[in-house]
Structure 1
Amino acid sequence: MNKKRKISRYTDIRNTVFFEITIGITANTILLLFHILTFLLKHRPKPLDLPIGQLTLIHLVLLVAMGFIAKDTFESQGWKDGLMCKVVIYLQRLMRALSICTTCLLSILQAIMLSPRNSCLEKFKHKSTHYYPYCLVFLWIFNMLLNGRFLVSIGATPNVTSHSLIFVTESCSQWPINHLFRYIFFALVNIQDISFIGLMALSSGYIVSLLCRHKRRFQHLHSTSHSPQVSPEERATRTILLLMSIFTLMYFLDCVTFSLLAILWKNDPVHHFVQMLVGNAYATICPFLLMSTEKRIIQCLTSKWKI
C-alpha cells in the first residue's frame, strides 16, 4: 500500500493555498492582457515591456500548473496514465527556472538603461533590445533540455510499495535516476541559480549606486523644506529593486522549506502548505508591484472608475 499524505481534511490550509493561486492568476492575467493590447493597438512599447510581458506569462503558467499540483496534493485526481503528471510537473519546474532567468535579465536591462553616457554600459544601450530575443531563445532551449529529466523520471504512483519513489503529489511520483546524471543536473541547476542571483545582486548594487549618485547630484536644486519629486523612471527602478529583494528572499525561503523542513516534517501537511505558499509568493506579488508603477494601467483603471 502506498504511503499517501492525508491532508485533504486541512480545509484552512487548502483554502489559503488556492486563494493565493487565484489572486496571482488574476493579477498576472490582467497585466498580460494589458501588454497584449498595448502591442495590438500599436502603442510604442517601452524597452522593458517585452521582459515584463514574458515574466508575466511565465508566472501565469507557473501558477496554473501549481493549481493542478495543489489540487492533486489536497484531493487526489487519479492521473493514472502518468502523462498529466509529466506535463504539469515539467511546466512547473520549467517556469520556475525561467522566472529567475527573466527576473535577472530584467534587472540587467534596467541597469543598462540607467547607465550614464560615460559608463562602460553605454555601448550596450542600443544593442540590449536587439540581442535580448536571442538570449531569451537560448535560455528557453537550455532550460527545456535541463528540465527534460522530469519528463522521464515523473510518472503515476504505482499500486505497489517502493521505498525508492519520491512522492510529488497524491497521484504523481518521481522515479530514481542514475547517480551520475542526478549530480550533473543538480550541479547545472545550482550553477545557473547562483549565477543569476549573483548577476542580480551586481546589477541591483549598480542601480542603487546610480540612484544615490543622482540624488546627491541634484540635491542642491531642491529646497530643504520640499522633498524632490520622484520621476516615473526612478519609481520604476525602485520597484525593480524591490522585486529583486522579494525574489531573493522567497528563493532562499523556498530552499529552506525544501531542504530543512523536508527533513524535520517529511510527511507533515504543514510543510507542504509552507512550501507551496512560499513557492507561489513571488509570482503572486510580482504583477501587483509592476502594475503599481505602470502609469498607463493606473490611468485606465481610474478612467473606468470615473465612468
Structure 2
Amino acid sequence: GFLFLLSVSLLSFPDAVCVGLMLWSSIFMVLILHRHKQRMQHVHKTCSSRSSSESRATKTILLLVSTFVSFYSLSCIFQIFLAVVYHPNRFLVSTAAVVAGCFPVVSPFLLVSRDTNASRLCLTWIRNGKTPDIMRNM
C-alpha cells in the first residue's frame, strides 16, 4: 500500500512538474498577449473590426494547452489502469496506445485549422493533387 503510493508519487512527480511548467508558461504568454493588446488598442480600432492577432494567438494557445492536458490526463489514467490490472486485455492496451498518440496526431490539424493561409494551402494541395507553387519554391 504505502510503497505503491510512494512509487506512484515519485514516478509521476516529474510529469506533474513538466505539465505545471507548461501551464504556467501558457498562462504567462496569454498575459503578455493581453497586455500587448491593451497597449495596441488604439491601432486595432483604426485598422479593422475583425479579431486581433493577440486574440487569435490566445485562442490557439488555450486550444493547444487544453487539448494537450486533456489527452495527457486521459493517457495517464490509462497507464494507471495498465499498471494496476494484472493481465490487461488487448483492447485496454490498444486504447492506451491510441490515446497516447492522439495529441501528436491532432495538434498539427488544430494549428492548420487556426491558420487560414495554411488551410488554403492544404486545400489547394488536396484539390490539385500536387504541391502548390509556394512549397516548390521553398
Which TM-score bucket, shorter chain as reference? 0.5 to 0.7
Q: Quote the residue 1:281 is aligned against.
A: 102
Q: Secondary structure at the match of 1:279?
A: helix
Q: State the Cα distance separating 1:228 from its structure 2 match.
A: 4.5
Q: Quote the residue 1:238 is aligned against.
A: 59
Read off the aligned partner of 1:258 and give its amino acid letter. Q
Q: 1:195 aligns with which of 12, 17, 24?
A: 17
Q: 1:245 to 1:232 in 2, by over 3 A?
A: same
- Cα contact 2:79–2:96 (8 A) shared by 1: yes
Quick one: percent identity of the two aligned structures?
31
Structure 1, unaligned runs of 5 or more: 1-182
- Cα contact 2:74–2:99 (8 A) shared by 1: yes
Within the alignment, does 1:206 sit opposite 2:13 as a pair?
no
Q: Secondary structure at the match of 2:93?
A: helix
Q: 1:274 to 1:303 in 2, by over 3 A?
A: closer
Q: 1:271 aligns with which of 92, 97, 100?
A: 92
In 1, the alpha carbon distance for the partners of 2:34 and 2:15 equals 28
After superposition, give the CA deviation of every residue in 1:183-223 in whole Å (9 maximum; x if it has no partner).
7xx95x6444222211111112223334444566639x76x
Structure 2, unaligned runs of 5 or more: 1-6, 130-138
Taking structure 2 as the reference length, what is the TM-score of the superposition?
0.61
Structure with greater proportional helix content: 2
In 2, the alpha carbon distance for the partners of 1:255 and 1:295 equals 33
- Cα contact 2:60–2:114 (8 A) shared by 1: yes
- Cα contact 1:236–1:293 (8 A) shared by 2: no
In 2, the alpha carbon distance for the partners of 1:190 and 1:302 equals 41
Within the alignment, does 1:249 sit opposite 2:62 as a pair?
no
In 2, the alpha carbon distance for the partners of 1:263 and 1:191 equals 18
What are the equivalent positions in structure 2 for 1:11-160 lying under 5 Å apart?
none
- Cα contact 1:291–1:297 (8 A) shared by 2: yes
The alignment of Structure 1 onto Structure 2 pairs a total of residues equal to 117
Q: Secondary structure at the match of 2:50?
A: coil
After superposition, give the CA deviation of every residue in 1:40-81 in whole Å (9 maximum; x if it has no partner).
xxxxxxxxxxxxxxxxxxxxxxxxxxxxxxxxxxxxxxxxxx
Read off the aligned partner of 2:21 and give its amino acid letter. L
- Cα contact 1:204–1:244 (8 A) shared by 2: yes
State the structure with bigger RCO (CA 8 A, min sep 6), 1 or 2.
Answer: 1
